[in-house]
Chain A
Amino acid sequence: MIFDDVVCTFCGCLCDDLQATVEEDKITNLAHACVLGKGYIMAAQRQSEKPRLKGKDVSLDVALDAAAAILHRSLHPLIYGLSSTTCEAQAKAVELAELLGASIDSTASVCHSPSDLARQLSGLSSCSLGEVKNRADLVIYWGCNPAETHLRHATRYALMPHGMFVPRGRQDRRVIVVDVRRTQTAKMADLFIPVQPGYDFECLQVMRALLHGEAPEQEIIGGVELETLKTLLQEMKSCRYGVIFFGIGLTMSSGDYNNVVAAIELVRQLNAYTRFAIMPMRGHGNVAGAEQTLSRLTGFPFAVNFSRGYPRYGPGEFTAVDLLVREEVDAALVIASDPLAHLPFEAAKWLQQVPLVVLDVHENYTSRQAEVFIPVAPCGVAAEGTAYRMDNIPLRLKKIIPSLNQADEELLASLKERIRCLK
């Protein structure tokens, strides 16, 4: 059986043109996927089969009962992850957080949460990837490296496609990369501008000043010659439709959300001259959906706490790293994430001290430390649902093979009912 228009949920591109051939409940061929997407989907078929309690295989009922007991006993539980599951499962996790009085946070807090803070301060002049494909004649990648991380971003959306107003594709587009190192993406660009680490803010602010007719006294700003910044700005003013894609090079560096505010403000001011947009390069497949779901249900995109019975927002207070470093968590439910592999050691070490419940497709560093591990059906492969692309366009994920395991959404609903019975 052949499934068309399958959505890949590896990264925020959510490429929805994959074709999967399924024979005897196995995906035997996957067309159009990049190497990362193909690896992700083919690996998703190798699902763990047995729930585990304290290292021993148990039935799903026993695992869910144990998980419910852990979370029910906890005074300060943390629900974390969410970025590689469906919006429907994320909504169940929010319901669970409310029931438990828990903190709930997604992996966004360690990737683009500064972009959320910046957006809350400045708004965001953004667009869809379809607009980029059809209109953008100037594409700037700032602090991101899609040639390594979002492999089809350039070919499917931003550089190569032949669009309505850029009929010759790459030939009709000017491509500029600003980064601290000459990445694989920089090799695809017409112009590479190396900036000193930690000086993106200065460069962006000087460009804003230049736009207002002001000029700094320095000839070099953050390792970039002033004349180069003037040339870049002139290109931005004179294009027909420009877009900045920015990555964790801005959000993870010193200055974090201030860097993004400077970029957003520059783009907003450029709209006095031409049409210009800006978009974060989202990493996980449905990290944008996690923010959409939390915002829809709680009013806030991440770092939400329900301990007072209503949602409170606290970046720096209820974000996972801060809660863990301060040792304020006494149990954790991790959904579709591997924080022990990705959080700073100072945060990860406390996570190893508290009872852990993990829901994931595969064994990972966190699941190996978990008191309860429950394997799940992979979303977009063996579980359907909704995911948001990096431009916040929702797409429907298909179930193309069966699974012995339940989806996150079903498991979280069961967990909630069991906890409700304990209360």
Chain B
Amino acid sequence: MLELTLITGRTRQQGLGLEEGRFEQAYREEVCRVELSPQDLARLGVDEGDAVLLQTEHGSMSGTAWKNDGLPEGLVFVPFGPPVNSLVGGDTHGVGMPEFKGITVKVTRQ
């Protein structure tokens, strides 16, 4: 298990999936894509395509691990979508905006 920092965001495939069909396989796969640095993949002992479990104090999601060479060690990226919303809290600190980035997350090999 690793404790990492989660950021969520948009991707080209996620944007395309929203329009081409959010119930289609391509969209569902994209929003379960868990991108990790090569170092964190090695530390977790997982290969690309392996299932991983993400847990925060708000909830959990299962996803598929992918290598992203652009991510620094300690950072994990998941595209916007229903699965990752379970990891995000509803507290907006009085401004209306939840913290979709910078969330502490436990990542485990499944």
Contacts and interface: CB of A to CB of B under 8 A. Distances in A.
Interface of A: 10, 35-36, 39-40, 43-44, 105, 109-110, 113-114, 117, 145, 148-149, 151, 180-183, 186, 194, 197-198, 248-249, 251-254, 256-257, 283, 302-303, 315-316, 319-322, 324-325, 338, 340-348, 363-365
Contacts of A149: 10-12, 15
A325 B98 CA distance: 11
B75 A322 contact: no
B96 A321 contact: yes
Contacts of B99: 252-254
A10 B18 CA distance: 11
A415 to B, nearest CB: 25
A113 B90 contact: no
A40 B10 contact: no
A256 B95 contact: yes
B102 A345 contact: no
Using C-beta atoms within 8 Å of the partner chain, give the interface range for chain B. 35 or more
A346 B90 contact: yes
B15 A36 contact: yes
Interface in B70-97: 70-72, 75, 77, 80-82, 85-86, 88-97
B109 interface: no
Contact of A252 (B75, B90, B91, B101): B101
A303 B90 CA distance: 16
B68 A181 contact: yes
B9 interface: yes
B69 A182 contact: yes
B19 A321 contact: no
B12 A151 contact: yes
B102 A197 contact: yes
B52 interface: no
A198 B100 CA distance: 12
Contact of B12 (A36, A43, A338): A36
A305 B11 CA distance: 33
Nearest to B77: A181
B102 A254 contact: yes
Contact of A110 (B9, B20, B98): B98
A194 B82 contact: no
B96 A113 contact: yes
A214 B68 CA distance: 38
Given A36-B12, A346-B89, A253 B96 contact: no
B90 A344 contact: yes
Given A197-B101, A343-B85, A345-B58, A365 B22 contact: yes
16 contacts: A39-B15, A110-B100, A113-B96, A148-B15, A183-B70, A194-B72, A252-B101, A253-B102, A254-B101, A302-B96, A316-B92, A324-B90, A344-B98, A345-B58, A346-B58, A365-B22
Contacts of B95: 113-114, 117, 256-257, 315-316, 319
Contact of A35 (B12, B21, B23): B12
A249 B82 contact: no
Contacts of B90: 321-322, 324-325, 344, 346-347
B62 interface: no
